[in-house]
Structure 1
Amino acid sequence: MIKSSLFPLRNPSPSFDAFRDILLGKQMPEKVHFIELGVDYEMMKFISESLMGFKAPENINVGERKKELFVEGKVVPALLDEEKPLLKFRVKFYYSMGYDCVPVGLPLAPFPTKHRKTKDTALLSRGIRTWVEEEAGIITNWDEFESFPWDRINLDVTEYFEFLSEIIPEGMKFMVASTLYEMVGEQLMGWKCMFYKLFTDPDLVKAVFDKWGEIIYRGYTDAISHDCVGAIFHCDDMGYKKGTMIRP
């Protein structure tokens, strides 16, 4: 452990209400407020164990376990018991680092997608990382659209957010994140397929966006009904350094 670290903060004193009012222009900030869409587990583990003196729980791939249930046609729970230590660790990390809010992903059923695998060359490596399959996703025609289990993606999130309500420190809130354009382009249709279909079958592209948009909207609606959720942190990769992915 690095003894000269300033973290964990001795008195974090989070205030999501102040953070929100600053964003809305209702008050001037008295300090720098931190916010993140997400910090990788590997970074949280390194910082927690090297700088703050508390051990990270094992990073169990709960997404893969839920995906197995989905493929088997079983009910997918929004919260698994083995997921709870990871959520508690996430909250403790953001609290100890001085954040006012904790980002979490919108709980949705994880479905099988096409992807490539390659070596993870990061300093804090996972060993293997996945890469987007850009050619074609899992919906390339109307038959695949009709056979996709749209009605199984949204989950009953009551237990999930009730648990989050129990572990959030006073003054903090959760920010729930998901994506629209990125999911359609990267996973559902694939970028190349989507670009072609914009010209050859625009109705299919619209139908996919509409369906996924309805899922995200319903998920956000369910999430913000819980008091522990302070805001939506919607995120989308809509372009790159030279322009947008699609002409505006």
Structure 2
Amino acid sequence: MSSRASVANRKPDFARLRVALLRRGEPDRVPLFEVSVADVVMTGFLGRLVHDPTRIGITLTPPPLDEALRRLPDFIAFYAAAGYDFVPIRFGIGGQVMAVLGRGDAAGFRKVRTTHRNTGREWAAEAGGFITSWADLETFQWPEPGTVSLAVLDAAGRMLPAGMRLVAHAGGMVMHARVWMGMERFWTTLGTDPALVVALLEKLQALQIVAIEQTAAHPAVGAFLLDDDLAHCG
């Protein structure tokens, strides 16, 4: 039997992952776990084009809802075929903030994005940022708490194979804050005006906690992961 056929014969069981994560015994096998898998890997495995429906980079806006929903079936099919017990779905306020930035400031994206000189990949700008002062923090049109759409979670929940659950994950406090302020400004402001950094983190925390509560209460979600990242590509 081929290794791929062996994987395909494994029945998903979120309880297996839960046992391992909570250290409540020994599961029948070591569960696979990835926060995300590159589109090119998923495409190569399934033999057809696969896109993550929500995660396209923390400096980019999420795709339109109809596009995200079109991506979902093949995305879920990959995780089921590859032997996972869950499907990771990015969820949180980062996309909302980027959408506000895009609507309100035509140059906004250039403040948070940079293009890698060798690969062409867009990522967080070292010297960018749109929260550069107390005035920026106070005048930015922050989304209202609790307004993150649950549509992708709802749709994914209806598509999940028996035994699978969703693991929702969102960008952490430092990751968003250093993108919104700019990497260099974030770290230097910790020395020159730490209260501004704290105020930004508190704003983010107030919004993200409500989003986490929304997600944790969703019937298709088995776990929530708050991942953070200090890296950048300059």
Question: TM-score with structure 2 length normalisation?
Answer: 0.80
Question: Residue 79 of structure 1 contacts residue 159 of structure 1 at CA under 8 Å; is this kept in 2?
Answer: no
Is the alpha carbon distance of 1:202 and 1:219 closer, same or farther for their aligned partners in structure 2, counting shifts above 3 Å? same
Question: Residue 101 of structure 1 contacts residue 175 of structure 1 at CA under 8 Å; is this kept in 2?
Answer: yes
Question: Residue 53 of structure 2 contacts residue 69 of structure 2 at CA under 8 Å; is this kept in 1?
Answer: no
Is the alpha carbon distance of 1:36 and 1:57 closer, same or farther for their aligned partners in structure 2, counting shifts above 3 Å? closer
**Counterpart in the other structure of 1:96:** 81
Q: CA deviation at 1:154?
A: 5.4
Question: Residue 62 of structure 1 contacts residue 83 of structure 1 at CA under 8 Å; is this kept in 2?
Answer: no
Is the alpha carbon distance of 1:157 and 1:131 closer, same or farther for their aligned partners in structure 2, counting shifts above 3 Å? closer
**Counterpart in the other structure of 2:49:** 56
Question: Residue 63 of structure 1 contacts residue 110 of structure 1 at CA under 8 Å; is this kept in 2?
Answer: no
**Counterpart in the other structure of 2:127:** 135
- Structure 2: how far apart are the matches of 1:79 and 1:60? 10
- Structure 2: how far apart are the matches of 1:118 and 1:31? 40
Runs (5+) with no aligned partner, structure 2: 102-108
Structure 2 residue 207 is the aligned partner of structure 1 residue 188 = no
Give the counterpart of 1:32 among 8, 30, 33: 30
More helix by share: 2
Which amino acid letter does the alignment assign opposite residue 155 of structure 1?
T
Runs (5+) with no aligned partner, structure 1: 50-54, 69-75, 122-127, 241-248
- Structure 1: how far apart are the matches of 2:27 and 2:181? 43
Q: CA deviation at 1:61?
A: 8.9
Q: CA deviation at 1:46?
A: 1.6
- Structure 1: how far apart are the matches of 2:128 and 2:51? 34
Is the alpha carbon distance of 1:88 and 1:32 closer, same or farther for their aligned partners in structure 2, counting shifts above 3 Å? same
1:51-200 aligned within 5 A: 55-56=48-49, 80-108=65-93, 109-111=96-98, 112=101, 113=109, 114-118=112-116, 121=119, 128-152=120-144, 155-179=147-171, 180-185=173-178, 187-200=179-192
Is the alpha carbon distance of 1:12 and 1:118 closer, same or farther for their aligned partners in structure 2, counting shifts above 3 Å? same
- Structure 1: how far apart are the matches of 2:46 and 2:202? 41
Give the counterpart of 1:217 among 206, 209, 226: 209
Task: String of CA shifts for 1:208-243, please: whole Å, max 9, x gaps.
Answer: 001111221111111111111011121112579xxx
Q: CA deviation at 1:157?
A: 2.4
Percent of paired sites with the same residue: 25
Q: Name the SS for the 1:85 alignment partner.
A: helix
Question: Residue 12 of structure 1 contacts residue 95 of structure 1 at CA under 8 Å; is this kept in 2?
Answer: no
- Structure 2: how far apart are the matches of 1:59 and 1:90? 6
Task: Figure out how many residues of one structure are paired with residues of the other and give that number.
Answer: 216
